[in-house]
Structures are given as structure tokens and as C-alpha cells.
Structure 1
Amino acid sequence: MSAPIVHGGGITAAAAAFGGRPEDWLDLSTGINPCPVALPDIPARAWHRLPDGHLVDAARFAARDYYRSGEILPLPVPGTQSVIQLLPRLLRQDGQAPMADDRIAVVSPTYGEYARAFTSAGFAVDAVGDVAAIRAEHRLAVVVNPNNPDGRSWPAETLIALHDRMKAAGGILVVDEAFGDTDPALSLAAQAQNLSNLIIFRSFGKFFGLAGLRLGFAIARRDILERFENWLGPWAVSGPALSLAASLLRSDVSAIRGGIGERCAGLSAVLTGAGLRMAGGTALFTLVADARAVDIYTHLCRHHILVRKFDYAPDWLRFGLTPDPAADRRLGEALQGFER
């Protein structure tokens, strides 16, 4: 079993190391909408009863319309992390261990749990720098679009061509669109019903600011979704989560996108004002490249501000969005106090 990966979050550990109460820290270490949406009413029965089929159906139909997935009804899952863990099982033949030549491609650097899940299951994982490096011998390829943490993106036609190449060789393409809500034009969901060897993962909590709900959706052909559903077992997603999804996915999200855009502009102004070089990102986070990244990270922690550092790229820091102008000022003042 490979070692656990350090992700964003971890305010409790940061407060233990640098002091202060966790609730007083400014957490900029994750790519989550910092202004969670107002929660619609959740019927009492959603809390009281096990999540019955009508709740699942309501969420699936709402997700179909929101993601524009056509004939495919997206499968609600308890966070897309849950189905990432199932991908190696999808490739196993009759429960057998992977063969030595069962290779997986992951366009990297990216979310580390993909490589970890396959490596832990005995697959050989190739970290490739671009989709053009994915070869016919790769049984499955992972592309995060837009990518985390650098924000790289690939147009739909490029990924459709990759899918067709992989399908011809009997392979599967996984496209993780966890940060896709702010740029719907990048999504392959509308083409998914015609791409039989494609699996799309969508995050719910990042865009709506409800990461603690642990909810995501998988979009793929029916037999793949049925296998995921069977492996996850009954009642995998809670009734309240299904109820919220059915409501929010049918709501007008233009104000949410507008609010994220405003917060993104606020963060960019702070980072630019501090003389930091923005090396990439999405509407929900910004990647900074700086040779002093480790020292900046420690300095911000001493001011009880947590950002994301990377063991594989010591000159990178990822800044999530601040929740309001006051937090912009707090971050800006802390950065201005850094000894250059």
C-alpha cells in the first residue's frame, strides 16, 4: 500500500503546528467555492427515512439536465473519490491480478489519488505530460480537465479523438471534470452518450461550496454505472444529499458563477500586488510559482493562513479563493509582510 497523499485542507494539523483556533484560520488550501450557496429546504423525511428510489431518480434526472448528458442518467456517488477507488476493479478480469503489461496513463502532475489507486492495485502507472503521450497499450487513461493544480485544459475535440484512439485499442478514457462547472464548454458530458468507452466524473461540492456533503456524479454507459452502483452498495448517498442535488442542480447558477468570478478577480489582484507570478489555475484556484514558496508557506501559516504546497514541486503554491474583500486584505497584508 502506497503512502497517503497530502491534500488541501488540514486546518486542525496546521493549527496544532502554528497555533490558533482552527475556526480562526483562513483556509485557502482547497479549490472550493468559499461562499457556499444558501441551502434549500430539505424535507424531514429525507433525514428520517433511508434514501428511497424516488430521491435517487430525482437527483439523477436533475443531474442529466444540468450536465446535458442526454440519454445517460448520471450516477450519484458519495464523492468522486469513492469511484476513483473502483477504477482498478473495473479493469480486473474475473477478479484476477493485473498482468505485468497492464499499463495506466495519468496526465500529470494532477490529483494524486488516481496514480495511488492503480499502483496500490498492482497496475503500472505512467505519468505522462500530455494527452499526445497516451499510447495504444494503455488500458485506461486519466485526464483531469481542467487540470488540478495547473489549470491546463484540453478542448473537447482533442479528448474525443483520444477516446476514439483508446476505444480502437480496447481502452477506457476517464475525464475528471471536478472543476468543470465554471467552464461548461470544456465538458464532454453532452457527447458522452456517443462515446462508449468514456467515463466522466463530476464534483458537486466544489462549485456549490458544499464539499462536506461528499457528493459527486459519474457519467458513463449503463453497464459501467450499474457496476459502480453495485460495488458501492445500497444507500451510498444520503437522502439529504440527494434532496439538495435535485434542488440545486435545477436552480439558476448564474449568480454562483458571477460570485466565483468576483472572488477570483479579488485573489488575482492580491497576488499581483504582492509581486507573485501566477503560473496557472482555474476560476476556483490560482497556482503560484516562486523559488521562495516554502518560506512563503511558513510565513502565511504563522499568520494563520493555509495554502497548498506540493512535495513534488517545491516552488509551487496553490491559493484557493478568499470568501470576501476583508479576507483579501488579510491575505494581502500577510504577503506584504513577507521578507523578500
Structure 2
Amino acid sequence: MLEHGGNLQAAVTRYGIPRDAWIDLSTGINPHAYPVPALAADAWHRLPEDSEVLLSAARDYYGAPRLIAVAGSQAAIQGLPQLRTRHAPASRVVVAEPSYAEHAHQWRRAGHAVRAVAHADLADAVADCDVMVVCNPNNPTGETVAPATLLQWAAQLAAHGGWLIVDEAFGDVVPEWSVASMADRTGLIVLRSVGKFFGLAGLRLGFVVAEQALLDALAEQLGPWSVSGPAQEIGVLALRDHAWQETTRANLRAQGQRLHAMLNGFGFPARGCDLFQYWSQPNPATLADHLAAHGIWIRRFAHGVRLGLPAHEDEWQKLQAVLAAWKDEKE
């Protein structure tokens, strides 16, 4: 399996710092999760049935014409390449680079020919592929593609039986960039996640928005009971709580701007979205080790680093102090 953020036990083992002493900034998950109330007893007791209540709440929230629920968008990321193999094995797949690594990994595992293309070159690559995968906003860089452009690419791909997969896992903080409301057209598939914005990554709940025939085929492949009863019940509450959503977007915007300003103040050319900041770092391991030695766990890549939001003021202050120490060492 690939390495991902959130692997805090690896930090505990490597650096010998107790788990409760860490500040985990290695994911882009909202540190202030949706408050989960007590659940109905049968949410735990009964096998989960298909919930039209959940699907209705999701359609309203995403503005989507039709969708299915899945056990986190990761389930769809793994399932779609297998589904494609049934009628178009060895498809030519373009994945934006850098991007969430599971996309390229799963398409390769399913036997497709995968090519990584920089965001700036995606438009030129549409004509030479069968499937294109774009994260919008992109994880980890925060880059975005305008909805009109995505719809144009989807139409180009659909003309020869292709797919455009738009992963909107972080789309809740920029709803104006979403194409979920237009994903009933052939060839356009949108992935959504309840884990990031709602801070409920452990729930394992996501949605796939697409035309009905593709949704039916994917649901058949994923099989029964793909989303637990507790996840369904909590998902309905979160997706319908408009007051919490509005307040949270405003709070995340302020926190995202604060993190961006802090990092740029220390000379890091950060960019991203309201849930994380990323920058290309010449030696990411050195910076990551410095932070880890002080109990701050971040996501490092070969090409840079990504930091999520601190949860509390004391975490903000510690991050600032540790970054200041880093800067002093380098001067």
C-alpha cells in the first residue's frame, strides 16, 4: 500500500514521542469535526439497507441529480478502474501530477496505461487519452480547474467513450468550483467525500455522482452493505446541517488564511485551499524531521510538503515557534 498522511503511529515509533504529545498536521482533515450525537440503537444492530434519506440529503447538499453512497471516495477510486476493465481494458489514463497518489496507483493495478501530466499541460492531453483524472481542488497543491473547462474536457472524452473523473474530496470549501450538479452527462464522474470538510474521515462515507447506468454498474460491483448504518445516520445529519456548514466554511477560510500568512512570513511560498497548504521544498525530509523532532507531524512528498490546520491556539503557537527555530537555524 502507498503511504498517506494520518499515519501517526509511524511517527510515534520512529521518533519515540508519545502519541498524545503530537500535533498531527499530516492530513487536510478539518480538525473541528461535525459533532456526532448519540445514534439509534438499530444503527449498530441491523444490516444497513439502502437509505433514500441519505441519498436525498446528499443530492440536496451537492446539487447532484443522481448519486450512490460508497465507503469513502477511496472505494470508488479502487472500483472505477476495475469497472472500466470490463469493457475497455488497457485504457490510456492521464492523471494530473502531482496528485493524490491512489488514483494512478489503482489504475495501474487494474492494468491500464497511466501517464502523469502536469496541471498546465492537461488541456493538451485530453485528445490523447481515454480517461483523465483531476482533483479539484488538487491534493496536495490546491490548484483548480474552472468548471467550464472540465465540462469541455468531459465532452471531448465522452465523444469516444472516455471518462473524466473529478475528485472533489476538498470541494466543500470551494463549492463554486464543483461540477457535481452537471454530472448526469455521459463521461463525467464526480467523487465527493464526507471525511475532509466535515472532519469525519473515520466514518468512511463518500458519494459518486454520474449517469445512472454507470452508477448501477459500480454499485453492483461494490456489492451489498458498502456503507454502514452509523455512517448513513451521521451522514444525513451532517449533510442537512446548513448552519454548521456555513459557520464552518467561514472558520476554515479564516484559519486557512492564517496558515498561509504564517508560512509565507517564514519564507515558504505556500499555496493550497482552506484545509491545507503546500509548497515545493528542496529538501522536504530535512524540514519534516525538524518538525517531527518537536512533535509536529506533516505530510512530506518527494516534491514538497503539506500542512493541515492546527486544532487549537496552543498548537498554532507551537507551530510558529518551531518554524521560527527552523528559520533561525538556516540563517
Same fold (TM over 0.5): yes
How far off is 1:304 after superposition? 0.9
1:196-275 equivalences under 5 Å are 196-252=186-242, 253-275=245-267
The unaligned stretches of length 5 or more in structure 2 are none
Preserved CA contact (<8 Å) 1:79 1:214: yes
Deviation larger for 42-51 or 59-68:
42-51
Q: Tell me what 2:117 maps to.
A: 128
In structure 1, C-alpha distance between the alignment counterparts of 2:83 and 2:283, rounded to whole Å: 43
The unaligned stretches of length 5 or more in structure 1 are none
In structure 2, C-alpha distance between the alignment counterparts of 1:322 and 1:64, rounded to whole Å: 31
Secondary structure of 1:7's aligned partner: coil
1:1-340 equivalences under 5 Å are 4-53=1-50, 56-70=51-65, 72=66, 74-93=67-86, 98-99=89-90, 102-129=91-118, 130-193=121-184, 195-252=185-242, 253-278=245-270, 280-311=271-302, 313=303, 316-338=304-326, 339-340=329-330
Deviation larger for 294-303 or 60-69:
294-303
Secondary structure of 1:69's aligned partner: coil
In structure 1, C-alpha distance between the alignment counterparts of 2:316 and 2:124, rounded to whole Å: 40
Runs of 4+ in 1 over 4 A off after TM superposition: none
How far off is 1:292 after superposition? 4.3
In structure 2, C-alpha distance between the alignment counterparts of 1:114 and 1:293, rounded to whole Å: 23
In structure 1, C-alpha distance between the alignment counterparts of 2:224 and 2:282, rounded to whole Å: 49
In structure 2, C-alpha distance between the alignment counterparts of 1:212 and 1:235, rounded to whole Å: 17
How far off is 1:199 after superposition? 0.6
Preserved CA contact (<8 Å) 2:284 2:301: no
In structure 2, C-alpha distance between the alignment counterparts of 1:16 and 1:164, rounded to whole Å: 49
TM-score, with length taken from structure 1: 0.91
Alpha-carbon displacement from aligned partner over 1:191-247 (angstroms, at most 9, x marks no partner): 122x22111000111000111111111001111111121111111110010001111
In structure 2, C-alpha distance between the alignment counterparts of 1:88 and 1:49, rounded to whole Å: 31
In structure 1, C-alpha distance between the alignment counterparts of 2:35 and 2:122, rounded to whole Å: 39
Structure 2 CA distance for partners of 1:289 and 1:88, relative to 1, 3 Å: closer
In structure 2, C-alpha distance between the alignment counterparts of 1:269 and 1:160, rounded to whole Å: 33
Preserved CA contact (<8 Å) 2:126 2:132: no
Secondary structure of 1:201's aligned partner: strand
How far off is 1:105 after superposition? 0.9
In structure 1, C-alpha distance between the alignment counterparts of 2:52 and 2:325, rounded to whole Å: 53
Preserved CA contact (<8 Å) 2:126 2:153: no
How far off is 1:106 after superposition? 0.8
Identical-residue share of aligned pairs (%): 40
Q: How many residues align?
A: 324
TM-score, with length taken from structure 2: 0.94
In structure 2, C-alpha distance between the alignment counterparts of 1:331 and 1:197, rounded to whole Å: 44
Letter in 2 for 1:265: Q
Letter in 2 for 1:222: Q
Letter in 2 for 1:26: I
Structure 2 CA distance for partners of 1:269 and 1:137, relative to 1, 3 Å: closer
Secondary structure of 1:133's aligned partner: helix
- CA-based RMSD of the aligned residues comes to 1.5
Alpha-carbon displacement from aligned partner over 1:270-328 (angstroms, at most 9, x marks no partner): 323333221x21111001233343211111010010111112x1xx1101111122111
How far off is 1:14 after superposition? 0.8
Alpha-carbon displacement from aligned partner over 1:54-112 (angstroms, at most 9, x marks no partner): xx211100000000013x1x211001111111122222246x8x34xx31111111011
In structure 1, C-alpha distance between the alignment counterparts of 2:186 and 2:162, rounded to whole Å: 11
The structure with more helix, counted as a fraction of residues = 2
In structure 2, C-alpha distance between the alignment counterparts of 1:51 and 1:87, rounded to whole Å: 23
